[in-house]
Chain A
Amino acid sequence: MINKVCPSVTQAVADIPDGATVMVGGFGASGSPIELIHALIDQGAKNLTVINNNTGNGEVGLAALIGNAQVSKMICSFPRSSQSRLFPEFYKQGKIELDLVPQGTLAERIRAAGAGIPAFYTPTTVGTVLAQGKEQREFDGRTYVMEHWLKADYALIKCEAADPLGNLIYNKTARNFSPLMCMAAKTTIVQAGRLVERGGIDPEHVVTPGIFVNRVVEVSEPVHEDTLIAEGRCYP
């Protein structure tokens, strides 16, 4: 019987090596896999390239991973926010590289990687500095920019419920990039608020089919980034 359940977040992230490219699900605080990120901080892998829409908030989760000097490069669409302090600090000191990608292009590059499509054309960025140096081509009289797929070694994902095969459902807007990242990473590690038995998720309701998932660890009552920040918490 296939069983992707892993007993702890510590074991789930144990093999992530220095220099790995890691996708982290979530949009701002919603959908951020805080327990998996904190396990990666404890594990200590360095020189990581991290792909997320943002750069974390406060001194917990993704921001804490950056603050712990484990990230050498961020690929994201929006590195600023009112509560993001650690990324700006590291960026201004030249300690972290930034690759800025428009949000829809980021999503589609991740999807393309999962779908086996090495490149695609998009109208996004035409006529802007972000299109400079990229191949452009006309289709039906309109100019488009070529963008490449974006792959990762690992994805860290939070979901509402999972079964032992890795079928997943999410909660509201906490879904965001996660189903795409599950497809695009060689090894997808998921923290699930509930672990249900096989058949516990209606096949009609599965959002991420288990084929895209490698490891599932149950984290019931996961902490939420917004709650940690409101409480003034730091990690570690």
Chain B
Amino acid sequence: MTTGWTREQIAARTAQDIPNGSYVNLGIGIPELVAKFVPEGREFIYHTENGLLGMGLPPSEDERDLDLMNAGKKYVTAVPGAAYFHHADSFSMIRGGHLDVCVLGTMQVAANGDIANWSTGVPGAIPAVGGAMDLVQGVKQIFVVTQHTTKTGEPKLVERCSYPLTGAGVVSRVYTNLAVIDITPDGFQLVDLAPGVSFDEVKNKTGTSVLPPADNG
């Protein structure tokens, strides 16, 4: 029954679409894995919004520095050539359009590029937004990586988000365990299928229509 891409494979496929030399912000979860799959011959510089450009991989036990964390509050390292800065500078990089790519997880993403990844809107739940609303407005390209459906099989790719929005019309491309899908003016459009996955399966598990791939011929 397991078809399609693993979490690692989704991350590796996402990394393929990031141009050499990009400044990249990675969200928590599958997006973090993208850093493990930089394609041969390319260099990405990672930004973490708590004040580091040039974030490296997690440290060994000996290398660990309690004052060196990423936005997910996990310990990280700084690569040679890294820079530290305060939060206003960090969000100037984000809001000012200086970052090239942001890879985010989500609860829902809609055919019009809307994303909802901060709150279910359930009464009594504690809302937490972090830097997501700044990132989706400011970074040049927003890539969403997600499982195609929820744990209970509900589509996460929908016609319109039912959860409160993080940003409207901001997403350019979606990477799931089943497919890569573009957000176009006409809605979702298939780019790639994961191995062993049919276009019909993708359409059945998406909450709205999916256009066939653009004819490149």
Partner of B168, one of A81, A104, A127, A170: A127
Interface: A2 (CB within 8 A) = no
Chain A residues within 8 Å of B85, by CB: 175
Chain A residues within 8 Å of B132, by CB: 102
Interface pair B130/A128, CB less than 8 Å apart: no
Q: For residue B131, which residue of chain A has the nearest CB?
A: A103
Interface pair A175/B84, CB less than 8 Å apart: yes
Q: Using known A-B contacts A28-B73, A123-B138, A127-B165, determine if residue A172 contacts B84 with beta carbons closer than 8 Å.
A: yes
Complex Cα distance, B92 from A180, in Å, reads 13
Interface: A31 (CB within 8 A) = yes
Q: Using known A-B contacts A107-B91, A226-B66, determine if residue A126 contacts B51 with beta carbons closer than 8 Å.
A: no
Chain B residues within 8 Å of A173, by CB: 48, 50-52, 67-70, 84
Q: What total of A-B pairs shows CB separation below 8 Å? A: 142
Which parts of B84-140 form the interface with A (CB within 8 Å)?
Answer: 84-88, 90-91, 94-95, 114, 124, 126-134, 137-138
Complex Cα distance, B28 from A211, in Å, reads 38
Interface: B17 (CB within 8 A) = no
Chain B residues within 8 Å of A111, by CB: 88
Interface: A129 (CB within 8 A) = yes
- Smallest Cβ distance from A223 to chain B, in angstroms? 10
Q: Give the interface size class of chain B.
A: 35 or more
Interface pair B67/A126, CB less than 8 Å apart: no
Partner of A180, one of B78, B87, B165: B87
Interface pair A102/B87, CB less than 8 Å apart: no
Interface pair B91/A108, CB less than 8 Å apart: yes
Most buried by B among A98, A107, A108: A107
Interface: A30 (CB within 8 A) = yes
Interface pair B129/A177, CB less than 8 Å apart: no
Interface pair B67/A103, CB less than 8 Å apart: no
Interface: A27 (CB within 8 A) = yes
Complex Cα distance, B73 from A205, in Å, reads 26
Complex Cα distance, B126 from A78, in Å, reads 9
Interface: B19 (CB within 8 A) = no
Chain A residues within 8 Å of B66, by CB: 29-30, 224, 226-227
- Smallest Cβ distance from B133 to chain A, in angstroms? 4
Residues of B within 8 A of A (CB): 48-52, 65-70, 73, 78, 84-88, 90-91, 94-95, 114, 124, 126-134, 137-138, 164-169
Extra contacts, 7 of them, besides A78-B129, A80-B126, A88-B126 (Cβ < 8 A), are: A27-B69, A30-B66, A80-B128, A103-B91, A122-B137, A170-B84, A176-B87
Q: Which 9 pairs, one residue from A and one from B, show the smallest C-beta to C-beta distance?
A: A104-B91, A127-B168, A104-B134, A107-B87, A103-B131, A174-B67, A28-B73, A123-B137, A111-B88
